[in-house]
Amino acid sequence: MNNNYIWDIIASTDKNIVFYGTGDGADKIALQIESLGKTISGYFVSDDFYRPNKMFRGKEIMTFSQAEKQFGDFLCIVAFGSRLDNVIKNIESIRQLKETYIPDMPLCGKELFDKTFFQNNHEKYSKVRELLCDDSSRKTLDNIINFRLTGNADYLYDCQCSDDEYLKILNKDYSAYADLGAYTGDTLKKAVSDYHNLKIAICMEPSEKSFGKLAEYANSLVEPDTIIVNAAAWDCNETGTFSDSGGRGSKITNNKSKSLSGAKSIEVEYMPLDQVCDIHNEKILIKYDVEGAELRALKGSVNTIKNNDTDLEISVYHRSGDIFDIPIYVHELLPSHKLFLRKLSGVPAWDILLYAVK
């Protein structure tokens, strides 16, 4: 793996450290950098988002040109994520002008994917690499780790795939579909379009606002027969706290305070798929995108998985250990399935998907 380690570089720099971006993600990264004994000199945003006299962490937010005028040759930290082409182009323009890094912080949990974490999990890495069934998957795994250790976006650009890559991996004859983290129904709509034999769809979504839109779309469907559940996918029945941003990035949390992004904490039901899904002998695809609860949601789906001819699509990027722990668990559960790893476009190392296909 690459030795050009991001946190050593940041800790040893003599340059001003200036952030591109604000918000919850930037606050996380700033706290990590400050723990290294460094100070954040300033924050800037894209010109389209700039508003005079706006503050973040006690400093007035600038444009890039203002930051360049004030700090000169600064070290730039990209402190947000995006899949938008125009945003990626802007990041690349800045990378051509400034020494730039994109730290990869865990979206859930506190365990940072740093050198120590990788060393402690090297045996798991080796096992996962052996389990992956094609060169693209192994390259994706290696590049993601190199990116997380270096903050160099070139590793991501070198392994990313198109949004329809799943069509080359998954079957097309599913009779059932379970969507855990169904959001507003966008992924259900895609499944209905892609899999013409669908008879049954089960969707779980805890966010009140997103669930309302999901229900509106589901109720418009003549087929498949669709069950929608306003709950978070889990491995048992309980009530818990959910950080509801009203959009993507809502997540299960123990923190009841309001976030910098304005997400509010609400009480929601946690529920296993096995409780709401009583189907047998179907060809089913189960999709897990549950913002860090993927492993527990998998454990709450074991009966459904075993009672049907099941393929899986699982997000493996919310927690630092997901990229190791989830493939190992899936292999233990479904030892005859092939495992594929893919990374969709965008930065940082988000939208990493594991496919388990019979």
Q: How confident is the model at residue 25 (pLDDT cuts 50, 70, 90)?
A: very high
Q: Which residue shows structure tokens 């450290």?
A: 17
Distance CA 267, CA 167 (A): 37
pLDDT digits (tens, 9 = 90+) for 136-162: 999 999 999 999 999 999 999 999 999
Confirm if 226 and 178 have CB atoms less than 8 A apart.
no
Read off the pLDDT of each residue in 282-299 and give the average, rounded to a whole number: 97
Distance CA 160, CA 143 (A): 10
Distance CA 95, CA 54 (A): 25
Residue 177 φ/ψ, nearest 5 degrees: -145, 130
Residues in the chain: 358
Whether the pLDDT of residue 259 is over 80: the answer is no
Torsion from C-alpha of 124, 9, 318, 138, nearest 10 degrees: -40
Mean pLDDT of the chain: 94
Write down the pLDDT at residue 247.
52
Write down the pLDDT at residue 245.
58
Whether the pLDDT of residue 91 is over 80: the answer is yes
Give the chain's domains with CATH numbers. Answer: 1-103 (3.40.50.720), 164-315 (3.40.50.150)
Q: How confident is the model at residue 127 (pLDDT cuts 50, 70, 90)?
A: very high
Run of H or E residues at 227: strand 225-229
Residues in contact with 201: Cβ distance below 8 Å, sequence separation at least 6, in sequence order: 176, 177, 178, 179, 188, 191, 192, 218, 221, 224, 225, 226, 227
Residues in contact with 100: Cβ distance below 8 Å, sequence separation at least 6, in sequence order: 20, 75, 76, 77, 78, 91, 94
CB atoms within 10 A of CB 17: 20
Read off the pLDDT of each residue in 338-355 and give the average, rounded to a whole number: 98
Write down the pLDDT at residue 2.
66
Q: Helix (H, G, I), strand (E, B), or coil: what is residue 189?
A: helix
Confirm if 233 and 300 have CB atoms less than 8 A apart.
yes
Residues in contact with 70: Cβ distance below 8 Å, sequence separation at least 6, in sequence order: 42, 62
Distance CA 272, CA 236 (A): 6
